[in-house]
Amino acid sequence: MAMQLGQQIAVDFDVPARMRDGTILRANVYRPVGEGKWPVLLTRLPYGKDFPMATSILDPTQVARRGYVVIIQDTRGRMRSGGEWMPFINEALDGVDTIEWASRLHYSNGNVGVYGASYFGYTQWSAAVHQPAALKAMVPLVTWNDPLNGVMLRGGAIELGSMASWNLMMGLDVLMRRHRGDPQALGRSISMLAQEMDSLAQSGYSSLPLSEFAPFKRHDVAHYYFENLVWQIDRENNQVKSMTILGKHENVTAPSFNIGGWYDIFLKDTLDNFKIMREQGSTAEARQSKLLIGPWTHSGYSNPIGELNFGFASSAAFIDLQIDLTSLQVRWFDHWLKGIDTGMLREAPIKLFVMGANVWRDEQEWPLARAVDTRYYLHSGGQANSLRGNGLLSTESPGSESPDQYDYDPAHPVITRGGALLMTPEFRPGPFDQRETESREDVLVYTTPVLEQDVEVTGPIAVHLWASSSAPDTDFVARLVDVYPNGYAQNLNDGIIRARYRNFSKGEQPTLIEPGKAYEYEIDLWATSNVFKAGHAIRLDITSSNFPRWDRNPNTGHDIGADDELAVAHQTILHDSEHPSYIVLPVVPIVAPPTAPPPEQ
């Protein structure tokens, strides 16, 4: 693709835009020098338009040199913009107003595209559901559509790791505004908040009760967040409704290029955003949406990821040895905003990175039509506890088998190690060796025999677990692991279910469980794409905590967040003919390359 570089760039700082209620939001504008009109690329974020994060997803100077106006705006109540910071509440209408404003700038040709990651992926969707006329295309990266499945909660458990650290980080600007006229007070408050952030992993995450979360209370930042945790699972709550895109996709008319990572905290919704728009988009353009999934984390797009080297071509800086992430986005916008035939719509709508094989591959649909949902059943002699146990995973259905048991003590939870994380620096995201975790007696380990041939697993994954507990409420956690010949245990994905919310996805209200009674729980592990190589093994870990990524269930059955007491739960995992426990893996047939015909005699 030819790139038109070399054009001089002008940068206008703190450009004001008036919202419908009179509030002024400010943006930095990067644009070509000279007379003319160009399409606009807009992003709206709460992290500071003048900070490196604002330019990390798409380089505005390079893009402006390619004939675009790039606008980076501070959202309401943040940094240089006016108004009050109320997370999520005002983003939809502010986004609509900003898109219209951008389309009418004297150097704009009226066509607007939006881009950005995470919160500023959400600001795209929240405006797009209102169908702003000037919006022609979107590139949402690593963002959500359902806040009750990855933002605030997961399976009914609280996303403590990300919510505590994110809300404290967002408090920095809150304090700067609060003490703007008093430098000494500002210095003290910032220093104290920084200490709070630095001690979160050592002590802050453990603060109880959650409804009085001390790290928030001590600084009066985000104090509202954990005060009444019941609202977080109420879809009629105003903040939850503001954050929810699910159910509103049909209003979106612009095509979206959805980008995510296998170790991203919003992987499932990135996949679903693509699938819904592709199949149910209300316009022909919306149904041309595309998907790209790398081996990436929420904020890590370069190799290595976690502990593993996925290869040079896995990096967003040189995707499949063909294109960098900025140029890929520009190629998308060139089609929709400039009318240039870049060939993108003739290419496969999906590009996935297949871990294990460490290759990029084009696909036509999600989930893959050729994948075969295959049940791998849990087996043991009644002692699957830890790596030293006798847990087995196989495709054979169980007969008469003894259950496995362990005690879950929330005072000594299983500690988070790797995965789809956005937490303090002590908890790094991505793949990490799970053997230390798997050495615990309160972790059940089920492993297949060594594989004789490669097994590819690409698609959605769920665990069906029959379990009982001595507690009226408790948690169950499942993790899929790739075991290397040397024993290295690579976590691929995981999930959690809080017993009282076991039927929440079916629209039912939370109810406590009857101690000692067996229930079938479905644990959504979201998805992955991985080739378990010959000589490796497939493993499933079952336990009851992953702290502080998810809050500890105190096992008391009391209101969520109210407890400062913790009780031990005795857990029983059943896997017999009447209570088959299993993981469903979408196994993709591996087609051998054609063999060359024998030479003619």
Tens of pLDDT, residues 423-482:
999 999 999 999 999 999 999 999 999 999 999 999 999 999 999 999 999 999 999 999
Beta bridge partners of 404: 573
Q: Which of 74, 94, 264, 551 is catalytic?
A: 264
Whether 3 has a pLDDT exceeding 70, the answer reads no
pTM for this one?
0.95
Q: How far apart are CA 80 and CA 14, in angstroms?
A: 7
Give the per-residue pLDDT at 234.
75
Is 397 within 8 Å of 382 (Cβ atoms)?
Answer: no
CA dihedral 230, 78, 134, 16 (to 10 degrees): 150
pLDDT for the residue 241: 87
CA–CA gap between residue 281 and residue 265 (Å, rounded)? 25
- Token reading at 325: 């992430």
Angstrom distance (rounded) from CA 573 to CA 406: 9
pLDDT in tens, 372-414: 999 999 999 999 999 999 999 999 999 999 999 999 999 999 9
Whether 590 shows a pLDDT value over 90: the answer reads no
Q: Would you say residue 313 has pLDDT above 70?
A: yes
Superfamily of chain region 9-141+247-302+311-354: Alpha/Beta hydrolase fold, catalytic domain (3.40.50.1820)
Per-residue confidence (pLDDT) for residue 227, from 0 to 100: 59
| Token pair recorded at residue 23 | 């509030």
- Which pLDDT does position 597 carry in this prediction? 63
pLDDT band, very low/low/confident/very high, at 503 (cuts 50, 70, 90)? very high
Q: Does pLDDT of 265 surpass 50?
A: yes
Rounded Cα distance, 597 and 50, in Å: 62
- Average predicted confidence (pLDDT) for the chain: 94
Answer yes or no: is pLDDT of 221 > 80.
no
φ, ψ at 208 (rounded to 5°): -135, 150
Domain ranges of the chain: 9-141+247-302+311-354, 153-239, 372-588
What is the CATH code for 372-588? 2.60.120.260
* Element housing 490 (H / E): strand 489-498
Same fold, 9-141+247-302+311-354 and 372-588: no
Sequence-ordered list of residues with C-beta below 8 angstroms from that of 440, at least 6 positions apart, any chain? 386, 414, 543
CA distance 248 to 238: 15
Question: Which of 118, 256, 314, 327 does the annotation list as catalytic?
Answer: 118
Residue 264 known to be catalytic: yes
Catalytic hit among 219, 249, 298, 575: 298
pLDDT digits (tens, 9 = 90+) for 72-97: 999 999 999 999 999 999 999 999 99
Nearest residue to 69 via CA among 9, 138, 135: 9
Judge whether residue 212 has pLDDT over 90: no
When pLDDT is cut at 50, 70 and 90, the band that residue 512 belongs to is: very high
